[in-house]
Amino acid sequence: LLLSHISLATIPVLIIGILLIQTTRKSIETSVADGNFEVAKRASNEISLYIEQAQNIVSQVADIMGMLDTTPIERQRLIDNVVVRHEQFRELAVLDLDGQELFCTRLATHSTPHNRDGLDLPQAKAVSKSPVFISEDRLPTVRMTVPIHRFNQVTGYVTADVNLKDMWDLVDSVQIGGDNESGFGNAYVVSGNGRLIAHPQRERVYGQEDLSDTPVGKAITAAVSNTVLYNSSDGEQLAAFVTIEPLGWHVVIEQPTAEAFIRSREAKVEVTVLMICSAVAASLIGVFFARKIAHPVSELVRGANLFGKGELTHSIEVPGHGELTMLAEEFNHMARQLLEKERQLQRAERLATLSKFASILSHEI
């Protein structure tokens, strides 16, 4: 009876606790992954706006060059002012149709103009962008080229080297969580071909590290999900990534699962403790009710044994108003009836003895 009560009390608690642990863990892990994805999305939007702003400025310079009849000095002054006013531009140049420099913000350009070999010269109004490269000042740079249109004809090009220092600053500023033991999450940017173009560890960017064969790179290529779990030399990692449109770059938020899912482990411990306490409490309640049932039964058994030994004056005490109390009262009533019958029998035996003694005495007289 005790085992059945404990089982009925604890098994449901254990089942509910296990289901609650699984549900809580899944919910927290999904919430963390979605949160990291939102961080990556915001970083992607900021980088996209930064590039779009630079592109708009270059397009405006090209439009001015095409619409206004300006002197060479005015054109030189125009591009110089743009570089001075906008820190994201390392260099701005005006090219002819063959890619030969006409004007440039580089100091030595006026005396030594040169041809931009290998530069993608677009014919439409679209802006061409080069792959990200590391400039002489050790910053990631992208080169934008916009055609100059005059009377619907391409008359030249404006090309600008845009440094991505702000992108590096943004990547450095992203830190998710943070713990000396479990580490913290950070951000990095991967180009369309899998090359690392922004990372808190600058050496990896300078070395043009290729991530295309890593779990993150494969997940980005497959694009079946915006999050991926994988094992690295630093332990299990959670990575969330977002594509920067229309550049084709990818912002990745990477965080050790030891830090990302710490709340899940804490919740698991809390639910486990709650489950154990509930099971213990349920077991104690089961023990209480089992004893409450077993004690009256034991009293009935002991009373029946005493009655069997002839101790009919014994009274079975079972408190309460339940069926066992009624049974105890019936046992006591039966014992009283047996005791009365026994007394009547003894009285009858005494009368029979006196009658026999009287007959013998009368005969002797």
> DSSP label at 4?
H
The residue type of 199 is: H
243: its two tokens: 């594509």
Q: How much is the pLDDT for 110? A: 45
What is the Cα Rg of the chain in Å? 47
Q: For position 182, what pLDDT does the model report?
A: 47
Write out residues in the chain with pLDDT < 70, as ranges: 107-118, 124-125, 177-184, 224-225, 319-320
The pTM (predicted TM-score) of the whole model is: 0.68
* pLDDT for the residue 111: 47
- Report how far residue 278's alpha carbon sits from residue 119's, in angstroms, rounded to the nearest whole number: 72
Would you state the structure tokens that stand for residue 165, as one six-digit string? 């220092």
DSSP 45-101: HHHHHHHHHHHHHHHHHHHHHHHS---HHHHHHHHHHHHHH-TTEEEEEEE-TTSBE
- Output the pLDDT for position 232: 79
Could you give the CA distance from residue 28 to residue 326 in angstroms, rounded to a whole number?
Answer: 56
- Distance between CA atoms of residues 128 and 83, nearest Å: 19
Residue type, 151: F
Q: What is the pLDDT of residue 250?
A: 92
Max CA separation in the chain (angstroms): 175
